[in-house]
């Protein structure tokens, strides 16, 4: 399928397999999502049950989300109606998405669910920094997913990694504005599965509220594992929480959960992370008292606090319920 140069208004679409052979979508122009929320039963463009898919062409998926964002109540309410996501890949395997842009999605720009062997290359994803829940790429229950050479700036996580994922790779991503590169939140629902195997390498975060974040809910209904993560060669510029593990995550004004998280976090390595923090607490590890974080490593970390005009205040680190070690030069002074 070829979409030529020009702009085209498009309502909800579903490309559903199984299909014979590899399917190609060459997008040279711009697709404009309908701004009428009544036409959507779920998402904007769905790709489902396809083995062999290529999307390319330098074009733009424009979610036209500005008129929908005021209707998003999810940042305030636990139970809320979800707005349409722009591009959703469900039960897709052996796919390549490259050289395209996604702008102003109503909710997530791209959602990958129960898929395997997908590559996302040379993407540009953007939405205003105050647009709610406009995650760049969200991944759940998927295996062997690679995101490389992307520029992502949104009102939420640049890349968010939900439960049930294995063997994810993130390379050469420029993130900002947004909430950083996040694992989680984990431990909210009873049907969640472990997250095992994540590599984040050669990335830069600029002006984000978080840098490298792992977040889990308290009172998890089932025990989970988040393990074998490698963060390497990361540059932070004016990031509020450059390195953070938060096992008391609560995005609302108040949360009723009191029991500790049951998500076991272990074998996490941070290596050669450097740059500036806009908060004094450049490293924050708040782990579960029932299943403390284990085998967490800080290797050659160099983070400096820039929020003090006098230049006298230095960055700090916080450790709660965590076991691990530090190697090489670690600034701020390591608490593990």
* Catalytic (active-site) positions: 179
Q: What angle do CA 98, 198, 332 make, to 5 degrees?
A: 115
Which residues are 276's β-sheet partners? 304
Phi, psi of 122 (to 5 degrees): 55, 55
Q: Which residues contact 36 (CB under 8 A, 6 or more apart)?
A: none
- Tell me if 224 sits within 8 A of 194, measured CB to CB: yes
Provide the sign of the torsion angle of the four alpha carbons 11, 12, 17, 21, taken in this order. positive
Spatial distance between the Cα atoms of 257 and 277, rounded to a whole number of angstroms: 30
Spatial distance between the Cα atoms of 82 and 88, rounded to a whole number of angstroms: 14
Spatial distance between the Cα atoms of 40 and 237, rounded to a whole number of angstroms: 39
Spatial distance between the Cα atoms of 114 and 137, rounded to a whole number of angstroms: 14
Spatial distance between the Cα atoms of 161 and 7, rounded to a whole number of angstroms: 32
One DSSP character per residue, 259-305 reads: SPP-EEEEEEEEEEEEEEESSSEEEEEE--SSS-EEEEEEEEEEEEE
Task: Classify residue 329 by burial, with Cβ atoms within 10 Å: 0-12, 13-18, 19+.
Answer: exposed
Spatial distance between the Cα atoms of 170 and 30, rounded to a whole number of angstroms: 27
Phi, psi of 71 (to 5 degrees): -90, 0
Reported in sequence order, the residue ranges of 18-92 that DSSP labels E, i.e. its strands, are 23-27, 30-33, 45-48, 51-56, 60-62, 87-90
């Amino acid at each position: 399928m070829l979409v030529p140069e020009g702009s085209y208004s498009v309502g909800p679409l579903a490309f559903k397999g199984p299909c014979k052979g590899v399917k190609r979508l060459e997008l040279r122009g711009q697709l404009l999502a309908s701004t009428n929320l009544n036409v959507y039963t779920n998402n904007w463009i769905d790709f489902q049950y396809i083995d062999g898919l290529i999307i390319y062409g330098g074009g733009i998926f424009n979610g036209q989300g500005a008129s929908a964002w005021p209707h998003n109540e999810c940042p305030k309410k636990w139970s809320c109606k979800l707005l349409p996501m722009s591009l959703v890949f469900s039960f897709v395997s052996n796919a390549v998405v490259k050289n395209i842009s996604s702008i102003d999605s109503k909710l997530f720009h791209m959602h990958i669910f129960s898929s395997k062997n997908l590559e996302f290359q040379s993407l540009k994803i953007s939405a205003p920094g105050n647009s709610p829940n406009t995650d760049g790429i969200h991944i759940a229950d998927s295996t062997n997913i690679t995101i490389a050479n992307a520029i992502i700036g949104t009102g939420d996580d640049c890349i968010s990694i939900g439960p049930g994922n294995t063997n994810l790779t993130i390379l050469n991503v420029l993130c900002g504005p947004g909430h950083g590169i996040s694992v989680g939140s984990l431990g909210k629902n009873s049907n969640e599965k472990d997250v095992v195997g994540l590599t984040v390498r050669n990335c830069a975060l600029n002006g984000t509220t978080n840098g490298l974040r792992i977040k889990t809910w308290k009172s998890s209904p089932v025990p989970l594992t988040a393990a074998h993560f490698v963060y390497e060669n990361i540059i932070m510029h004016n990031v509020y929480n450059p390195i953070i593990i938060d096992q008391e995550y609560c995005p609302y004004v108040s949360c009723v959960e009191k029991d500790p998280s049951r998500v076991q976090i272990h074998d996490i390595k941070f290596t050669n992370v450097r740059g500036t923090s806009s908060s004094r607490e450049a490293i924050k590890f708040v782990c579960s008292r029932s299943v403390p974080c284990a085998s967490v490593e800080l290797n050659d970390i160099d983070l400096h606090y820039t929020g003090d005009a006098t230049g006298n205040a230095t960055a700090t680190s916080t450790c709660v319920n965590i076991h691990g070690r530090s190697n090489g030069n670690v600034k701020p002074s390591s608490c593990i």
